[in-house]
């Protein structure tokens, strides 16, 4: 596999015990992950290569690869090189889902740039998402046991997206359904990199499970904050078409008062109602609480710069404005 060869060719991205070394290793590894993703989507079919690169160039927060790298280090891993193709696969899976989301939601802006859908149209956006997903499959094929972790996350991701579309369509978003949706569509793809990083480090069962649960909880918090930003932000500040997930606003409204969300009100009405009410503030409280409980999971791990960096990453999830 080209990408694994690329990873093998890298100078070891090793960390030592100090913070500066960790920061530098993560930065180097993130660059290697970006390079690996670019290399793996280098299709002979021009439109697949161009559309894939377009969305990958835009960057995004790369929070899932960071989570894989830091979990690896926190579980005792030293040379981050083997995490690179796996983290690339995770980020490609997220990217595939984003490209397909923008078809279903008619999103025209993504990561501050025109969406694949907006530039290449629906057919090529659909195929680009399929292609990125096929590349995940190809990247992960050699991993066997680890493969199953990501395969399960991919099933959860699609189930969560479908549950959301079905619940919105059938007007049956409740607090419970909202959490079921975000658990599958987002938290599962935060749990996977944390678990994969820890497994690649050869971490103990207790450490692997704690990191997986940490990832899961900050994934839930991340999505809640995402939905808040979607309601309160603009396309400019959040870098993607704002208000498209507005139906999610029903989720917040439901957190406060399930009875209020069964109407056929147009989205703007829902938005106003949600913003006037206490739903957004309650959602923020919930996100903070999830992050606190995520951090508490890390108690079983020995102190390390990587553990500190995970705590910082968890706090960034709730403090971010985009």
Give the interface segment with a copy of itself, choosing from 31-39, 45-53, 212-220, 248-256 (CB under 8 A): 45-53
Q: Judged by CB, which is closer to a copy of itself: 14, or 106?
A: 106
Among 13, 33, 48, 318, binds a copy of itself (CB under 8 A): 48
Task: Kindly state whether residue 44 participates in binding a copy of itself, applying the rule CB under 8 A.
Answer: yes
Enter the DSSP assignment of 79: B
Give least dist CB 4 to a copy of itself, A. 11
**Nearest one of 159, 156, 320, 175 to 248, comparing CA atoms:** 175
Task: Kindly state whether residue 134 participates in binding a copy of itself, applying the rule CB under 8 A.
Answer: yes
Gyration radius from the chain CA atoms: 19
Residue 233 Ramachandran class (φ > 0 left, ψ -120 to 50 alpha, else beta):
beta
- DSSP codes, 8-30: HHSPP-B--SSHHHHHHHHHHHH
Task: Kindly state whether residue 269 participates in binding a copy of itself, applying the rule CB under 8 A.
Answer: no
By the 8 A CB rule, do 281 and 188 touch? no
Give the interface segment with a copy of itself, choosing from 22-30, 155-163, 188-196, 267-275 (CB under 8 A): 155-163
The angle that helices 175-182 and 205-232 make with each other, rounded to 10 degrees, is 120
Among 47, 119, 292, 311, binds a copy of itself (CB under 8 A): 47
| Cα separation, 214 vs 67, whole angstroms | 10
Q: Judged by CB, which is closer to a copy of itself: 117, or 256?
A: 117
Q: Which residues bind a copy of itself (CB under 8 A)?
A: 43-48, 100, 103-104, 122-124, 126-131, 133-138, 140-144, 147-148, 150-152, 154-155, 157-159, 161-163, 165-166
């Amino acid at each position: 596999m080209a990408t694994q060869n690329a990873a093998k060719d890298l100078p070891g991205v090793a960390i030592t015990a100090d913070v500066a070394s960790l920061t530098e290793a993560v930065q180097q590894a993130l660059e290697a992950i970006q390079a690996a993703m670019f290399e793996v989507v280098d299709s002979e079919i021009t439109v697949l290569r161009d559309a894939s690169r377009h969305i990958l160039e835009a960057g995004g927060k790369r929070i899932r690869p960071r989570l894989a790298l830091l979990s690896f280090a926190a579980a005792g891993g030293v040379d981050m090189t083997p995490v690179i193709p796996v983290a690339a696969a995770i980020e490609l899976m997220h990217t595939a889902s984003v490209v397909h989301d923008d078809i279903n939601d008619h999103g025209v802006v993504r990561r501050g740039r025109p969406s694949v859908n907006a530039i290449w149209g629906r057919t090529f956006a659909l195929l680009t998402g399929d292609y990125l997903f096929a590349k995940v499959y190809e990247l992960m094929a050699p991993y066997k046991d680890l493969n199953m972790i990501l395969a399960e996350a991919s099933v959860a991701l699609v189930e969560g997206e479908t549950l959301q579309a079905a619940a919105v369509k059938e007007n049956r978003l409740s607090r419970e359904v909202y959490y079921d949706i975000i658990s599958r569509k987002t938290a599962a793809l935060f749990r996977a990199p944390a678990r994969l990083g820890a497994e690649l480090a050869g971490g103990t069962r207790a450490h692997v499970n704690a990191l997986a649960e940490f990832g899961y909880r900050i994934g839930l918090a991340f999505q809640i904050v995402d939905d808040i930003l979607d309601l309160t932000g603009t396309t400019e500040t959040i870098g993607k078409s704002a208000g498209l997930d507005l139906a999610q606003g029903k989720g917040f409204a439901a957190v406060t008062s399930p009875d209020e969300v069964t109407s056929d009100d147009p989205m703007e009405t829902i938005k106003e109602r949600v913003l006037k009410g206490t739903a957004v503030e309650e959602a923020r409280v919930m996100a903070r609480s999830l992050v606190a409980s995520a951090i508490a999971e890390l108690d079983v791990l020995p102190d390390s710069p990587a553990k500190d960096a995970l705590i910082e990453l968890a706090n960034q999830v709730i403090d971010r404005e985009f």
